[in-house]
Structure 1
Amino acid sequence: MTEGLPRRGVRFLRARWRVVARLAAWSVLETGQTFLTGYAPARALDEGFLAGRTGAGLAWLGVAGLGVLVGAFGTVRVYTAVAELVEPLRDGLVARVVARGVRQGDSAALSGLTQQAEIARDTFAGLVLVSRSFVFTAVGALAGLFSLAPPLLLVVGVPLLAGVALFGLTLRPLARRQEAFLVADEALAERFGAVCPGLRDITAAGAEEPVAAGTELRIDAEQRAACSLARWGVLRVVSLTIGGELPIVLLLATAPWLLGHGVTPGALVGALAYTTQSLLPALRNLVHGVGTSGSRLAVVLRRLLREPEPQPPEPQPAEPFTEAPAPALSLASVTFAYGPGAAPVVERLDLVLSPGAHLAVVGPSGIGKSTLTALVAGLLEPDRGRIHVCGHPVPGRRAAARRVLIPQQAYVHTGTLAENLGMLRPDPVPEAELLAAAGAVGLLPLLEALGGPGARVDPAALSAGERQLVALTRAYLSYAPLALLDEATCHLDPRAEERAERAFAERPGGTLVVVAHRISSARRAEKVLAMDGRSTAYGTHEELMRRSALYRDLVGGWTPVRSQPALALGDPDRVDAVAGTGLAGDGRHVVAHRPVGQVQAAGDLRDGGPLGGED
């Protein structure tokens, strides 16, 4: 925004000076009403009832009542003038929001049109009313105090001016802290909006702790902003006490002195009427109205009137795999530990994969294979080091658009099969392309059995292997060049697994990283990364067989013996997948995350927790 709000406000009011003059003219009637609120009762007492002249006293009270009627007439006209002042503001804001939304593609335009412009209009109207009321009420009350007895003006006017001055000093800090609180609240709401729909994916990827830590930071930020706002809000109460309630105490405390120095009882009663019936309510409305609504108005206007910041263009991969030449994946000295005192799960890892590479990640259970994929996917942030996907830093929006993570727990939602498979595409997938992908990955038999792409899917009716095939095909159809398969084929039989992995490895420009749970996956990969805590070994299958004792032990433990418990096979990942290639049902198979020998019936969704989906 190139011009400050105060200057814009002055220019806005100057352009509508006739409306402002009419508003002031009608408000003078309220000043007269306020003047008579204390002056008439004072005269009624001093010149009427206390002097034994009941008629004069009643006449003065009648004048006070007439003042109320005149003030009410003026108040009605005031509302009309306020509307003539407020509606142009709203119209100008709406025109600005529409222009920014239509011409500049501002995604926040709808919120600005439907909510923020209305908030600005209502808040500005309330602000004009309470500010005008305080000014003209204070003028009438102070004039009445001076007319009754100048010492009364000293007793009431000095604390009133002190309270108003203190309140004025808090306005700018309050506005800043109000905006900081709103920003923190929006950040927290945005975080919840992103986290809550993806709870299953977060659980499937094992990212609960980092996601919780990020959310906790935003909660703490909002708490700090709220506490700071509350502390400054206390000064509003202090200013109200000094300006509105202290004069009452001073009038009562100095009453003997005032009466002894020429102040009449009626004048003292009139001063109390001015303070309790006019000044205190007007100051209370000013403090609460300007202090809260004024800060909110300043925040909303700053957002509506500022020029939109230039945004980097969103990644629009109209055609898949059109990346500039850059490594598909690069890790430089990446180190990560689950906590400050914990031993690193990944330590000083360097890795570079060119586009089209096929890497298998192997190692004992719990050694950090899934942690590595979560780091590459941006679900975890490394303690040290740098990660880039297709040349873009992780975490980051551009990197996230170029990778797809398929975890072990595949997520399938209720809907058509085409809707499930096209979740990662911005537009509906053409049926020919969808069928080609299903054929490449191995989903075609299931697709035909269900009745085609338009058939509705019941997740509870699908086996774990069938859900994995749906998730794999969905990822295959995405435009992300880098595919991360984290135990994503553990419920498929070897032939189905090989078909799916080869489909991903043969995608034009596609790069595949697979957490292997069978020796066949490692043999198919061009390169293998063997993880063993702080040490790693990298090379082809043959190279690692020669120089890595860990890899030789893993290969020896992978000797296939069907229909035996996984641990008896020496399988470090405890998987013995026996699902048939047809996948009509998985039969009974040992699941990787349960104790040895515990089995899962076909179609049972309760295999260790909530289902997850690819990121």
Structure 2
Amino acid sequence: MSGVLRFTTGALRRRRRPLGRLAAWSAAEALPALLAGQLTARAVDHGFLAGRPGVGLAWLALLAAAIGVGAVGTLRAYACLGDIVEPVRDDLAHRVVSGALYHSTSAGARPDTAAVARLTHQVEIVRDTFAGLVMVVRGFLFTAGAALLGLLSLTPLVAAVVAVPLAVGLLLFAATLPAMIGRQRAYVRADELLGTEAGAALTGHRDVTACGGQEVVAERVGRQVDRQEAAERALARMAALRSLSLAVGGWLPLAVLLLAAPWLVRSGLTAGAVLGALVYVATGLQPALHALVQGIAGGGLRYAVTLDRILAATARPGPPTSPGLAGEADDAPPAVAPIGSPGTGPTPHAELVGVGFRYGTHARPVLDDLDLTLSDGDHLVVVGPSGAGKSTLAAVLTGLLRPQHGTVRLGGSPVDGSGPAGLAARRVLIPQEAYVFTGTLRDNLRYLCPDAPDADLSAVVDRLGLGPLVHRVGGLAATLDPGTLSAGERQLVAAARAYLSPAPLVILDEATCHLDPAAEARVELAFAARPGALVVVAHRISSALRARRILVLDGGRPRSGRHDELLAGSATYRELVGHWRGAPAGPTDAAPPHSGPATESTARIDGSRADPEQIDSLR
């Protein structure tokens, strides 16, 4: 929780002036708590018990005036609150958005559905609970402090008697805070996992239906619902501990004071002083303690745990290591000798030599001593179980992730030291989440090639099957509203944008997962016929049937080959194919013809230029 403390103290330090105004009005609000016991004692002793009711009423009138001042202080204190709380909300919203964008681009990860929960739900929790926490803490400090000062001025002996159980109640509450924090953390985590699980189910509902996995997915989401319920029940049980703290710190002083009243009177304390002490405890200390305990145990815990979760999830590990994010001034690729096949031959579009990558010093390697060459006309499909490293490979290949060892070259030049413009000229990556901005369809398609003529746009529209979308929105000049497009339509726009890019290397990281199989086949075959090289992180195993080469990642040494070779030699590939066996393949799903010897299944995966006849067969 040290990060929460640093964030909170930093936010308060940056807002000293609003805090100063809040403190001033809080002091005015605490005026009744400071004077209530004294004025009550004087009204009783010097007024009513002395047979002078007018004097007693005059003292009570002063108390009423103090209460009026306190009411004005309360009103103005709440008016100061917005100047303290709203900037905190803005800071958190900026942190969540920038952190989600950073992690998505730097790690090549899938969309973080939990980021939506953090931005919409958790940030609002922090905002509201931070406001409540500020009010209850300053209320306790000023109100309890004023009551103790008044009690001390009235009778020091009673102040000492009352302060002891109050301190014990506060210590008891502080001792139970770690357990309360643990329960609250479990609840927030269960809430986030439920959002992630439900978001994944909704995103992949078409594939779930196609595979007949409704019951399995419903059971997984149901388990998260049950976990959230159990976490919330455990959190509710902590209310018993809060009640114990309130009983010791709030009610015990009152009981002690009532029981000791006869002895205090015999010791020389006046009846008015005893009554005044009871007023200080009952109207000052006890309500202040109750507000503090309930506020911290409720909103305070939600604030600490939720903010801790936000800070951990949006943390950025130091300076960016990715060349594409470092922002070097020199965007031109460094001049190095071309690296191609031994002797002569064209420079590969991409080459990985001895590449290793792992998430964390002691984590299992995701990529281990991997060699990969992608030449002109190459069409590689990457398959494997979830978490095998497919998206990591795509991110390393494009320069978005830097491997711990090995070399990555694009167009013969190392990605280390290449600026964003230099990398963009050599590769284009289309992630699963397709981004479409508000603007004309023409501007969306031209984003990576601003000078593309309309004739090229029309050709790409026909080739990738965007005709129905163009007709529906009203032509290339129509303004797009991204919210009105389906996920598949957004993926088609992103695919067409990448197709027009001058970059020779295209990586599709599950970039067609929202398209039906026929539309997906059309897009992949169009990219396969495009000059350059194509890498497809497969969403469906039918993508592998269209590839020249298939790369299987399963946590061990990668295996490369054609469909029939991998069926015979890779248990992982046979299992992946089994998940889709029985799905009819259209004419475009047939594997393209191949010639020549089979590729050896080792960590070395060498590509070669595709035959023109093979490219024709892909059309």
Q: Place the TM-score, normalised by the shorter chain, in its bin.
A: 0.5 to 0.7
Give 1:389's match in structure 2, choosing from 394, 410, 413: 394
Partner residue in 2 for 1:134: 144
1: CA distance, partners of 2:214 / 2:446 = 23
2:187 is aligned with 1:164: no
Pairwise CA distance, 1:142: 4.3
CA contact (8 A) 1:27 1:74 kept: no
CA contact (8 A) 1:123 1:294 kept: yes
2: CA distance, partners of 1:20 / 1:502 = 68
Partner residue in 1 for 2:459: 436
* Structure 1 residues 221 and 431: CA distance shift in structure 2, 3 A: farther
CA contact (8 A) 1:255 1:268 kept: yes
1: CA distance, partners of 2:75 / 2:350 = 66
SS at match of 2:533: coil
Pairwise CA distance, 1:165: 4.1
2: CA distance, partners of 1:133 / 1:263 = 25
1: CA distance, partners of 2:30 / 2:489 = 75
2: CA distance, partners of 1:77 / 1:449 = 60
CA contact (8 A) 1:178 1:295 kept: no
SS at match of 1:575: coil
2: CA distance, partners of 1:97 / 1:471 = 30
Q: Deviations over 1:314-356 (max 9, x none)?
A: 968x99xx99964589999xxxxxxxxxxxxxxx9x9957355
In structure 1, the gaps of 5 or more residues are 49-54, 333-347, 362-371, 458-466, 555-570, 580-615
Partner residue in 1 for 2:584: 575
Q: Where in structure 2 are the equivalents of 1:150-549 lying within 5 Å?
A: 150=157, 152-153=158-159, 155-167=161-173, 173=178, 180=185, 184=189, 187-188=192-193, 191=196, 195=200, 198-200=203-205, 203=208, 235-253=241-259, 270-289=276-295, 292=298, 310=318, 312=320, 326=350, 354=374, 373=383, 375=385, 380-382=386-388, 388-389=393-394, 391=396, 402=429, 431-441=454-464, 453=476, 475=495, 477-478=497-498, 481-483=506-508, 491=518, 501=525, 503-512=527-536, 525-527=547-549, 539=561
CA contact (8 A) 2:445 2:493 kept: no
CA contact (8 A) 1:442 1:500 kept: no
Give 1:31's match in structure 2, choosing from 30, 34, 46: 34
CA contact (8 A) 1:34 1:141 kept: yes
CA contact (8 A) 1:328 1:391 kept: no
* Total equivalences in the alignment: 490
Q: Deviations over 1:360-381 (max 9, x none)?
A: 88xxxxxxxxxx7464xxxx22
* Structure 1 residues 162 and 124: CA distance shift in structure 2, 3 A: same
1: CA distance, partners of 2:218 / 2:451 = 34
* Structure 1 residues 14 and 162: CA distance shift in structure 2, 3 A: farther
* Structure 1 residues 64 and 307: CA distance shift in structure 2, 3 A: farther
2: CA distance, partners of 1:194 / 1:540 = 35
Partner residue in 1 for 2:599: none
* Structure 1 residues 100 and 331: CA distance shift in structure 2, 3 A: closer
2:67 is aligned with 1:72: yes
CA contact (8 A) 1:440 1:503 kept: no
2: CA distance, partners of 1:73 / 1:138 = 21
2: CA distance, partners of 1:489 / 1:19 = 59
Pairwise CA distance, 1:166: 3.8
* Structure 1 residues 452 and 20: CA distance shift in structure 2, 3 A: closer
CA contact (8 A) 2:464 2:523 kept: yes
* Structure 1 residues 38 and 299: CA distance shift in structure 2, 3 A: farther
CA contact (8 A) 2:460 2:496 kept: yes
CA contact (8 A) 1:358 1:526 kept: yes
Pairwise CA distance, 1:228: 8.0
In structure 2, the gaps of 5 or more residues are 103-114, 335-346, 357-367, 404-426, 481-486, 575-579, 589-619
Two-structure CA RMSD over aligned residues (Å)? 7.2
Pairwise CA distance, 1:386: 10
CA contact (8 A) 1:356 1:512 kept: no
2:124 is aligned with 1:124: no
* Structure 1 residues 65 and 578: CA distance shift in structure 2, 3 A: same
Pairwise CA distance, 1:243: 1.4
CA contact (8 A) 2:37 2:277 kept: no
1: CA distance, partners of 2:451 / 2:191 = 32
More displaced, 306-315 or 276-285? 306-315
SS at match of 1:381: coil
SS at match of 2:247: helix
SS at match of 1:481: strand
1: CA distance, partners of 2:87 / 2:551 = 62
CA contact (8 A) 1:130 1:285 kept: yes
CA contact (8 A) 1:179 1:299 kept: yes
* Structure 1 residues 330 and 113: CA distance shift in structure 2, 3 A: same
CA contact (8 A) 2:190 2:228 kept: yes
Pairwise CA distance, 1:133: 1.5
More displaced, 232-241 or 131-140? 232-241
Pairwise CA distance, 1:136: 0.5
Pairwise CA distance, 1:242: 0.7
* TM-score (ref. length: structure 2): 0.52
* TM-score (ref. length: structure 1): 0.52
2: CA distance, partners of 1:449 / 1:103 = 34
* Structure 1 residues 74 and 525: CA distance shift in structure 2, 3 A: closer
* Structure 1 residues 165 and 578: CA distance shift in structure 2, 3 A: closer
Q: Deviations over 1:57-98 (max 9, x none)?
A: x34642452242232243156348747976775698699899
Pairwise CA distance, 1:388: 1.8
2: CA distance, partners of 1:213 / 1:481 = 38
CA contact (8 A) 2:430 2:495 kept: no
1: CA distance, partners of 2:195 / 2:446 = 21
1: CA distance, partners of 2:119 / 2:474 = 40
